[in-house]
A and B are shown apart, each in its own frame.
Chain A
Amino acid sequence: MTPVRCEAGQHIASGTLAEKPRTLFEKIWDDHVVASDPGAPAILAIDLHLVHEVTSPQAFTGLRERGLKVHKPGQTVATADHSIPTLDPSIPIADELAAKQLRQIEANCREFGIPFHGQGSATRGIVHVIGPELGLTQPGMTIVCGDSHTATHGAFGALAFGIGTSEIEMVLATQTLLQRKPKTFQVRINGRLQPGVGAKDIILALIARIGIGGGTGHVIEYTGDAIRALSMEERMTVCNMSIEGGARAGLIAPDETTFAYLRGRKFAPQASAWDAAVARWRKLPSDEGATYDRTIVIDGDRLEPMVTYGTNPGMGVPVTGRVPSPAEVEPGARADLERALAYMALEPGKSIAGQKLDVVFIGSCTNGRIEDMRAAASVLRGRRVAPGLRVLVVPGSQQVKRQAESEGLAEVFRSAGAEWRESGCSMCIAMNGDQLEPGQYGISTSNRNFEGRQGKGGRTFLASPLTAAASAVTGVVTDPRTLSGAASQAVATSRSAAVEAD
């Protein structure tokens, strides 16, 4: 394709070209194609490269072996989130490998001139939480990170996707990536969510419908009234799990909600640059008449809180539903389901609600932001966690932690009997000592229920913060709408607080 070297929509406004209507994705793609040589993938410019300790060390080693520098350190930013403990930071790190990895990222950033938000920094946190909260994530950008949940940043109308370590080295060395153009997939969520139903339920319902490979080869754009009504943090939850549906990226067109969230953040454009940026961003939404390679429509009015029962995120049902029976699924899916139920030790046909729990995890790049903390706290306020249950609440960043503490949420969690910890990926990926024990059942606001994901032999139910918090009170998987006042109160609290924060 021909490189288009202008900002989104500029040539449409000029009126000199009869342009084919383009989607949001196509505009961002066109804006970033540096070169497109015959037979080769496009060279795509990258605006922002996020780096963390786990997937980057071998890339820096590669740079050193080639004798290369980081091409654009000012478009690169690093933090420590995956293997970092969520205990009191004054306690020495017990895991020598993790400690070495954490020293390595710091040394690499120092050597190559990359800003590092590390241990002790007030702005450290999960890479997909700090990008947005610092205002680094902006509409129309290309954003990459060696982490598949980079899709989170698509909530701002940025093309954001996860990459491997070889690609990290490429971006460090050239600030570009070689990419084949993906297809487009519109997911329209119509209507209005019912009380107790949230962003996490939208995305779990979508993945249950399309399957975990359903979006392969595509970039999703989420549209529809139910999406437009979401706060920025809720949009991030939806986009975050695009990869769980197989799509490398998920996008939501920027609007007033996006601009209100960004305004005044540290790295957002200021003064006259702000107005110019907003004017550019307003041209990003998909044009009238733009077409997608594929579209599905989901009725948001009819969504319910979702819970997974199996060993991939597509194995989900409404919390009012039952664990499916291998006899009732198509033959091709039977063996997978039998294996999953054997691993989970769940009985086919039984209600998902009422399944017993050992651990509750509230946190992660999916649901570790302040609104998630508010939602969970609104359920736990004045209540106690069930006897014998371990409940970990892990803020997504140090900024979220401080905010939650200043709002009194941390005290709500502690009073209820939950652990309130330092920020990080924690039990979502179980690299830092926070993990399920073999055979334990956990309900988790994170994104993956793969075998062993949250600890060897651990068994995960994925759910929203409301559902996880309600389950923390009862000790079994619980529909948050059945806990007196929990759902409506939580939604009201979360939404009104979000408006005030804006």
Chain B
Amino acid sequence: MPEPFVSTTSRVIEIPRANIDTDQICPARFLKITDKAGLADALFCDWRFTPDGKRREPPFLIDEPANAGRQILLVGDNFGAGSSREHAPWALRAWGIRAIVSTGFADIFRGNALKNALLPIVVSAERHTALAALVAADPDGMWTVDLEAERVTLPGGQSFAFEIDPFARTMILAGTDEIGYVRSRLPAIEAWEAVHPARVDTRAGAPTR
């Protein structure tokens, strides 16, 4: 079970790229695991290391010593495009990332992130530009992301509101997941199933109803 998450205060890492796909966040060769161990090493692996395994010079942003321990990413549009692998948010969480600010997220990634208490925070293009300028001017400023208040507070004390799916927000604040809720509705599911027979039986072959 996940831990409840309410807010975090951290410095920010900006990765000024759009369309960062899940193959970059967690390359496919790291998907051969049967658990969730070791995924911090996979995060942005091919942007951090050359094909023969040497650390790139200069190091990729998340490897810069000044960026160690930072929990908030500011990234370009359509973050998390591509594969449905939940290993992408697992890798981000394993690295310590708790919130990602962008103008947009790919649908499957957004859902997977929320199920792992990783906040996809959507801002307008104008605000994104202003936030990037802020990070450039004040790279070590502390931001506070408050899920309870749905508000980000910037170093100068200014703040802006964001929205997280209200159901997901409730789950993350409580540190629970959705399976308990849906299982509590099993009587409704079974009532539905009683009037909607299965359309196939994968075990038997062709249905003859």
Contacts and interface: CB of A to CB of B under 8 A. Distances in A.
B46 interface: yes
B28 A430 contact: yes
Interface in B78-115: 78, 81-86, 89, 104, 106-108, 111-112, 115
B178 interface: yes
Nearest to A428: B28
Contact of B192 (A45, A430, A450): A45
Contact of B189 (A43, A115, A146, A148): A43
Interface stretch (B61-69, B135-143, B156-164, B195-203): B195-203
Contact of B104 (A43, A164, A216): A216
Given A148-B108, A273-B209, A170 B19 contact: no
Interface string B56-77: 0000000000000000000001
Contacts of B126: none
A31 to B, nearest CB: 8
A180 B208 CA distance: 34
Given A5-B192, A164-B84, A35 B115 contact: no
A21 to B, nearest CB: 24
Given A72-B198, A450-B23, A457-B51, A34 B189 contact: yes
Contacts of B192: 5, 34-35, 45
Nearest to A108: B34
Contacts of B17: 335-336, 339
A225 to B, nearest CB: 29
A431 B21 CA distance: 17
Interface residues of A, number: 88
B78 A450 contact: no
A339 to B, nearest CB: 7
Contact of B107 (A101, A166, A212, A248): A248
A180 B114 CA distance: 14
Interface residues of B, number: 66
Interface string B161-190: 000011100100000011101110110110
Interface string A219-248: 000000000000000000000000110101
A448 B22 CA distance: 11
B18 to A, nearest CB: 5
Contact of A174 (B116, B166, B183): B183
Nearest to A277: B199
Nearest to B188: A35
Q: Is the interface of A mostly helix, strand, loop or mixed?
A: loop
Interface string B1-44: 00000000000000011110101100111011111100000000
Contacts, number: 229
Contacts of A448: 21, 23, 82-83
A143 to B, nearest CB: 10
A212 B82 CA distance: 9
B206 A269 contact: yes
A501 interface: no
Nearest to B181: A40
B81 A266 contact: no
A55 B202 contact: no
A39 B115 CA distance: 17
B29 A216 contact: no
B186 A58 contact: no
Given A39-B170, A73-B202, 19 more contacts: A34-B189, A37-B185, A39-B167, A43-B182, A58-B36, A74-B204, A136-B200, A136-B202, A167-B111, A174-B183, A175-B193, A212-B78, A213-B81, A216-B107, A243-B108, A269-B209, A270-B208, A271-B208, A450-B23
Interface of A: 5, 34-35, 37, 39-41, 43, 45, 47-48, 54-55, 57-58, 61, 66, 72-77, 82-83, 95, 97-98, 100-101, 104, 113-115, 135-136, 138, 140-141, 146-148, 162-167, 169-170, 173-176, 178, 180, 182, 212-213, 216-217, 243-244, 246, 248, 266-273, 312, 335-336, 339, 429-431, 438, 448, 450-453, 456-457
